[in-house]
Amino acid sequence: MKKLPGVHAPHKKNTARFPAVPLPAPKLVRIPMSMHIGAPAKPVVAVGDAVKVGQLIGEAAGAVSADIYASVSGTVSKIQDSEPATGERGTIVVIESDGLQSAVETSPPEVSDLASFLAAVRASGVVGLGGAGFPTAAKLSVKDVSQIEYVIVNGAECEPYITADTRTFIDDAELVWSGVRLLSEYLGVRSIIIGIEDNKPEAIAVMKKYCAAEPIASVASLPALYPQGGEKMLIYNLTGRAVPEGKLPLDAGAIVINVTTLAAIARYIGTGMPLVSKRVTVDGSAVPDPKNVIVPIGTPVEDVLGFCGVKPETVRKLLLGGPMMGAALPSAALPVKKQTNAILAFTEADAEVPKEKPCMRCGRCVSHCPMRLTTVEIQLAYQANKPKELERLKVGLCIECGCCTFSCPAKRPLTQYMKLAKAELRNYQNLVKAQAEREAAKLAAKTAKEAAE
């Protein structure tokens, strides 16, 4: 099996040895009703309501959606449709904290079979916590469980700086293992593989100990090559299977679940406490005191930065997520979400974007693409406005991992070109489809008319 390419991004796992410390209750939290892929949750609280930690405030709207729970105790002060100051769209529930963090009384849910397990996953409010935010209950609700040959626990954590998943393995080892047990018991999976990059020897050692005592899973030590944690990369590297174009991992017989996601499910099933806080790595050149912090969901990013000694005036770039795929924030008032695993703050020197130079066709974007796409031709086809060429080059497969931009010596924003090219191809395909439908309708009308005559 040929190895997939990638890039040797600097690891910068400065916080790997720091167990997470809890953030003191923030003054207020701003909890968006859409922290997942799918329909936004519907608020079930009103302004003025008193809420406790773990109380349902947003109800899942449909199969692909997720419940949302209060992360602090206090009073609902506002329910906003949007927040122009930060550019947020969608409903936000604002809770003013009383500082007490008093929690609702919880009891472990009854879990005895697959249906009750899935119901518990749904009730936990858990979504893909590695960053994707896909509702986990929807992912695990497969028609036929026997389709699942492999469950891969994703602990690759290939993004530079981030150590939140690493700390989950170490700090929450018991939870991770009870999650593995749940998967083994209710999904009846033949093979559970815990994939961890080899630059996290401590996490590997911890998991190996569990696997040795109870052989229901195995640990795979993966080479630390970004984007090792990409779903398609993990499946290919651990099973030798490629997810077919336009299909799901399940079509390759695999389900990939992030380790922190798994621990959150296990916590709910063990205690009844749903997802209300998140372990977040805070690092970057503007952070004097890098840490892993347990943050109530909805906490403004600036509160977390303040806790880590960041001077606001030194920050010129603020990222939610890692430096390869994370999003740059326009405002530090934006909240920490369920799928947030890192807050990175950078100074002026690291905020600048290098100037774009002409492409010299060196092909580094091609040789570093983990999806084996021909990036150099795709960017040219996009600039020349050739959607058919984009279709032939299969730009739709791009996972937007950033390897092409990272490796380009001409400093071209290739990943951005790829995203734009994907959008252009979609538009073109929709156009072609609409045209075909129009013509089919015309033809049908014509035959109907002829038949009538």
The region of 7-15, 122-130, 146-154, 184-192 touching another protein under the rule CB under 8 A is 7-15
State the binding string over 66-105 for another protein (x if CB under 8 A, else -).
Answer: -------------------xxx------------------
Q: How far is the CB of 34 from another protein (least distance, A)?
A: 20
The answer to whether the beta carbons of residues 202 and 176 sit under 8 Å apart is no
DSSP-based three-state secondary structure for 169: helix
Q: Which is nearer to another protein, 232 or 338 (CB)?
A: 232
- Taking the complex as a whole, the smallest distance from the CB of residue 353 to another protein amounts, in Å, to 5
Closest listed residue to residue 365, CA positions, set 322, 314, 416? 416
Work out which of 411, 433, 438, 442 binds another protein, going by CB under 8 A.
Answer: 411
Q: Find, among 16, 295, 283, 31, the residue nearest to 170 by Cα.
A: 16
CA 259 vs CA 19, 31, 158, 185, 346: distances in Å:
16, 23, 13, 17, 27
Question: Is residue 376 part of the contact set for another protein (CB under 8 A)?
Answer: yes
**Total chain residues near another protein (CB under 8 A):** 72
Toward another protein, which CB reaches closer, 212 or 384? 384
The nearer residue to another protein, 99 or 363, going by C-beta atoms, is: 363
Q: Does 42 bind another protein (CB under 8 A)?
A: no
CA pair distance 13, 28, nearest whole angstrom: 30
Instruction: Tell me how many degrees the CA angle 35-425-225 measures, rounded to the nearest 5.
Output: 60
- Nearer of residues 352 and 437 to another protein, judged by Cβ: 352
**Closest CB 84 distance from another protein, rounded Å:** 11
Is 315 near another protein (CB under 8 A)? yes
Does residue 388 bind another protein (CB under 8 A)?
Answer: no
Cα–Cα dist 252/48, whole Å: 49
**Interaction of residue 423 with another protein, rule CB under 8 A:** no
Instruction: State yes or no: residue 269 binds another protein (CB under 8 A).
Output: no
Asked if 397 is part of the footprint of another protein (rule: CB under 8 A), the reply reads yes
Residue 287, interface with another protein (CB under 8 A)? Answer: no
User: What are 211's two structure tokens?
Assistant: 């696997």
Residue placing its CB nearer to another protein in the complex, 145 or 328: 328
Interface positions, 221-240, toward another protein (CB under 8 A):
232, 236
Dist. CA 195–CA 205, nearest whole Å: 12
The residues, any chain, with a CB within 8 Å of residue 235's CB and separated by 6 or more, are: 150, 152, 241, 242, 243, 249, 252, 254, 256
Q: Does 173 bind another protein (CB under 8 A)?
A: no
Closest CA to 188 of 141, 220, 149, 138: 149
In sequence order, which residues have a C-beta less than 8 Å from that of residue 433 and are 6 or more positions away? none
Instruction: Out of 27, 89, 361, 433, point to the residue binding another protein (CB under 8 A).
Output: 361
Task: Label the pairing between strands 56-59 and 50-51.
Answer: unpaired
406 near another protein, rule: CB under 8 A: yes
Helix (H, G, I), strand (E, B) or coil at 213: helix
Q: How far is the CB of 165 from another protein (least distance, A)?
A: 19
Pick one of 27, 312, 439, 441: the residue that binds another protein (CB under 8 A). Answer: 312
- Over the window 326 to 355, marking each residue x when it contacts another protein by CB under 8 A and - when it does not, the resulting string is xxxxxxxx------------x---xxxxx-
Nearest-approach distance from CB 283 to another protein, in angstroms: 13
10: contact with another protein by CB under 8 A: yes
Q: Which of 419, 424, 426, 428 binds another protein (CB under 8 A)?
A: 419
Sheet strand arrangement including 342-346: 21-22, 291-296, 277-283, 342-346, 317-320, 327-328
- Cβ within 8 Å of residue 403, ≥6 positions away: 5, 6, 7, 226, 227, 324, 365, 368, 369, 370
For 94, 215, 382, 424, the CA distances from 148, given in Å and listed in that order, are 40, 19, 38, 35
Q: Out of 115, 205, 248, 360, which residue is the one contacting another protein (CB under 8 A)?
A: 360
Ranges assigned E (strand) in 223-363: 254-258, 277-283, 291-296, 317-320, 327-328, 342-346
Q: Which of 31, 402, 421, 425 binds another protein (CB under 8 A)?
A: 402
Tokens of 148: 């699942």
Nearest-approach distance from CB 69 to another protein, in angstroms: 27
